[in-house]
Amino acid sequence: MSTEATEKKPIDFARGLEGVHVATTAISWIDGQNGVLLYRGIPIEEIAKHSNFEETSYLILYGKLPTKQQLEEFDAALKKNREIPDDLLDVIRKFPKDTHSMHVIRTAISFLGGFDPDAEDNTPEANYEKSIKIIAKFPTVVAAASIIRRGLEVIPPDSSLSMAANFLYMMSGEKPTAEEEKIMDTIMILHIEHGMNASTFSSIVTISTLADIYSAITSAIGTLKGPLHGGANERALRMIKEIGTRDNVRQYVENALANKQKIMGFGHRVYKAYDPRAKILRGYAESLSKSRGDMSGIEIAEEIEKIMIEKVGGKGIFPNVDFYSGLVYSHLNIPMEDFTPIFAMARSVGWCAHVMEYLEQNRIFRPRAVYVGSKDAHYVPIDERK
């Protein structure tokens, strides 16, 4: 029997896999027309208001809110695993100071895989353990990469602090205020998970070959780096700074749109309404700008939003999670280079959850490409080539 005869009929071609479902999931749900995001069925607004990063991570990983005891045990396991090996710090120190931080953290997570004796064990038990290690160590890696790039001494994690407070502490050496801790915690919650986005898809493509969870997360970090995905937060703030004053906004936006340039932090494949995460972040950007007495960035951002909605809101283009997050980070004194790594450190929770969920239904990803090349070429000896 010929191979052709046994081949299944190809499904329609969808550039960028738009509208294609590649797996089933019970982790999160997005209603893009109405700007709704649910984590395990719970609205993101409720979670952002009442929960914290540790509890939300448990919810995403295990599928339900923890009891008090489960949360205490989970929190203790995260705290126990925050340290990273000195050898890894040496590797981070070897990078040139102008290396993009995403290269550093991608390498660091890959390096941690090489040090984990259970790296090759793909049982659910081992993968839950490894997820806890990855989630716990990620902020230490991001902070160490940032501190070393800035030429300062690495600050070891403080196990008396929450994940969010400890991260801010490792970034600056100063314990954050309760307000700063709450804002950082909420930002981390808002970035934990977001369905089958490009980086999550990357992670499940990698695990579908039965590689290992560190390889899957490393793939995801590489994918998140790009400006069309997690890299947009840094670009959005650079744009706000480049525009400089509110009076320059209209001309900047109109020029960009006329030249078919994307405005970073706007638009989404799934949301055709206001991203609910951006709404929460806009509130924080406003309140922090007021309390810091610096309204210049937020005024420009809100003017960009107004003009974008006027011009392209009809096409379903609104601010996404990456538009206001940069302003919030800058008021927390976090350098721009660390914005996308922070996105990655929080999203590691969603990546780990998807990797484990996909393994339960695993089938290797092996799509096809529509061949548009020649079918009648012949080998030409090198001397006869023009």
Q: What ranges in the chain are assigned the alpha helix state H?
A: 3-6, 44-50, 53-62, 68-80, 86-94, 101-115, 124-149, 163-172, 178-191, 198-207, 213-224, 232-243, 249-258, 276-292, 296-312, 321-331, 339-359
CA–CA dist 11, 19 (Å, integer): 12
* Of 31-39, 157-165, 266-274, 288-296: span binding ligand CMC (CB under 6 A): 266-274
- Choose, from 75, 275, 322, 338, the residue flagged as catalytic: 322
241 CB neighbour count, 10 Å cutoff? 14
**Which C-beta is closer to ligand CMC: that of 175 or that of 306?**
306
Answer yes or no: are the C-beta atoms of 202 and 354 closer than 8 Å: no
The residue among 176 and 267 lying less far from ligand CMC, judged by its C-beta, is 267
Pick one of 57, 131, 197, 206: the residue that binds ligand CMC (CB under 6 A). 197
Q: Among all residues, whose Cβ is closest to ligand CMC?
A: 267
User: Is residue 35 within 8 Å of 273, Cβ to Cβ?
Assistant: yes
Decide: is 176 part of the binding site for ligand CMC (CB under 6 A): no
- Write out the H or E segment, with its range, that includes residue 43: strand 42-43
**Contact with ligand CMC (CB under 6 A) among 66, 139, 267, 341:** 267
Q: Which residue among the candidates 75, 185, 194, 268 is catalytic per the annotation?
A: 268
**Measured between alpha carbons, how far is residue 384 from residues 287, 320, 377, 379 in Å?**
71, 55, 15, 10
Strand partners, 319: 266
- 331 belongs to the catalytic site: no
Size of residue set near ligand CMC by CB under 6 A: 20
Q: Which residues pair with 43 in a beta bridge?
A: 38
Binding segment for ligand CMC among 66-74, 212-220, 317-325, 331-339 (CB under 6 A)? 317-325
Q: State yes or no: is 268 an active-site residue.
A: yes
Residues within window 214-233 making contact with ligand CMC, judged by CB under 6 A:
228-230, 232
- How far is the C-alpha of 188 from the C-alpha of 332, rounded, in Å? 13
Residue 297 or 319 with smaller CB distance to ligand CMC: 319
Question: What's the rounded Cα separation, in Å, for the pair 222 and 229?
Answer: 11
Q: Tally Cβ neighbours within 10 Å of residue 286.
A: 17
- Figure out which of the listed residues 103, 175, 241, 269 binds ligand CMC, where binding follows CB under 6 A: 269
Task: Answer yes or no: 103 catalytic.
Answer: no
Residue 321 in the binding site for ligand CMC (CB under 6 A):
yes
Residue 249 touches ligand CMC, criterion: CB under 6 A: no
Asked whether position 322 contacts ligand CMC by CB under 6 A, the answer is yes
How near is the Cβ of 334 to ligand CMC at its closest, in Å? 17
Using the rule CB under 6 A, give the single segment among 158-166, 211-219, 241-249, 309-317 that binds ligand CMC: 309-317
d(CA 149, CA 171): 11
Least Å distance, CB 265 to ligand CMC, is: 5
How far the first Cα of the chain sits from its last, in Å, is: 42
Query: How many CA atoms are closer than 13 Å to the CA of 157, on its beta-carbon side?
Result: 24
User: What type of residue sits at position 256?
Assistant: A
Exactly one of 59, 163, 189, 317 binds ligand CMC (CB under 6 A); that residue is 317
Out of 315, 368, 375, 378, the residue judged to bind ligand CMC by CB under 6 A: 315
Contact characters 66-105, ligand CMC, x per CB under 6 A: ----------------------------------------
**Catalytic (active-site) positions:** 229, 268, 322
Residues of the shown chain interacting with ligand CMC in the complex, contacts defined by CB under 6 A: 16, 197, 228-230, 232, 262-269, 312, 315, 317, 320-322
